[in-house]
């Protein structure tokens, strides 16, 4: 009589890790004809379809390189679809905290002074003095751009001073 093999899942602690069954795993082959690699990368068969191809990594890269989102559409339909996608995505781009268009007033003020986010009081003050001296209307009497730049630098320094960054507390 053959001796029965002991199951390693009895008692506590388990003698084998969870999820390590002994049954054979099913491997989905790549859907590319003639490829024997496992198909681990899903790719849509057509736009807005739930059906998928399953490719190996090499054939998925080839498929993505040749993918045309606007295939089968007329030029007008493609332009309308692209405009709609852009309109929908614009809201996400504007809401991003990392987008350059949504800088906080302090960061805009620091950028005006040419400083990074972690600038110290003395760095803010010295950058302000340097830019104010360069762009002061008395030093540039016939240059309206310099006067406008001087006012921007002055507003940035005042904002940083009001917000408690200590720009004027030396």
pLDDT reading at 43 higher than 50 = yes
pLDDT at residue 36 in the model: 86
Sign of CA dihedral 136, 138, 140, 142: positive
pLDDT on residue 88: 80
pLDDT the model gives residue 44: 83
Q: How confident is the model at residue 158 (pLDDT cuts 50, 70, 90)?
A: very high
How many domains does the structure of the chain reveal?
3
Given a cut of 80, whether residue 53 has pLDDT beyond it is: yes
Q: What is the mean pLDDT of residues 144-158?
A: 91
* Between 4 and 132, the higher pLDDT residue: 132
Confidence band of 117 (pLDDT split at 50, 70, 90): confident
| Residue 129 confidence (pLDDT) | 94
Q: Do 37 and 54 belong to one domain?
A: yes
Q: Are residues 114 and 140 in the same domain?
A: yes
pLDDT at 58 over 60: yes
Q: What pLDDT score was predicted for residue 50?
A: 85
Say how many C-beta atoms besides its own lie within 10 A of residue 163's C-beta. Answer: 13
- Non-local CB neighbours of 77 within 8 Å, separated by 6+ positions: 70
State the average pLDDT over residues 131-155.
90
Stretch 89-95: mean pLDDT = 70
- C-beta contacts of 29-34 below 8 A and 24+ residues apart: 30/54, 30/55, 30/56, 30/59, 31/55, 31/59, 32/56, 32/59
Domain that holds residue 95: 74-102
Last residue of a domain, one of 17, 52, 67: 67
What is the rounded average pLDDT for all residues in the chain?
A: 80
Interval 25-45 mean pLDDT? 87
CATH number of the domain to which 122 belongs: 1.10.287.110
Q: What is the pTM of this model?
A: 0.39
* Domain match, 50 and 81 both: no
CA atoms within 13 A on the CB side of 18: 2
Q: Is residue 170's pLDDT more than 50?
A: no
| Beta bridge pairs of residue 29 | 38
Write down the pLDDT at residue 68: 78
Q: Which residues pair with 43 in a beta bridge?
A: 53
38 occurs within a structural domain: yes
12 in any annotated domain:
no
């Amino acid at each position: 009589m053959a001796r029965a093999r002991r199951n390693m899942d009895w008692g506590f602690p388990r003698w084998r890790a969870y999820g390590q069954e002994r049954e054979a795993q099913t491997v989905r082959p790549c859907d590319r004809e003639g490829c024997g690699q496992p198909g681990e990368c899903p790719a849509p068969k057509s736009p807005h379809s739930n059906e998928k191809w399953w490719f190996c990594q090499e054939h998925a890269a080839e498929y993505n390189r040749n993918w045309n989102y606007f295939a089968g559409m007329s030029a007008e339909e493609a332009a309308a679809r692209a405009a709609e996608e852009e309109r929908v995505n614009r809201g996400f781009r504007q809401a991003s905290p990392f987008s350059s268009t949504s800088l906080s007033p302090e960061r805009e003020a620091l950028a005006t002074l040419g400083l990074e986010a972690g600038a110290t009081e003395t760095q803010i003050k010295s950058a302000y003095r340097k830019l104010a001296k360069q762009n002061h209307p008395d030093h540039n009497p016939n240059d309206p751009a310099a006067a406008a730049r001087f006012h921007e630098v002055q507003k940035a320094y005042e904002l940083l001073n009001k917000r408690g960054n200590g720009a004027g507390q030396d």
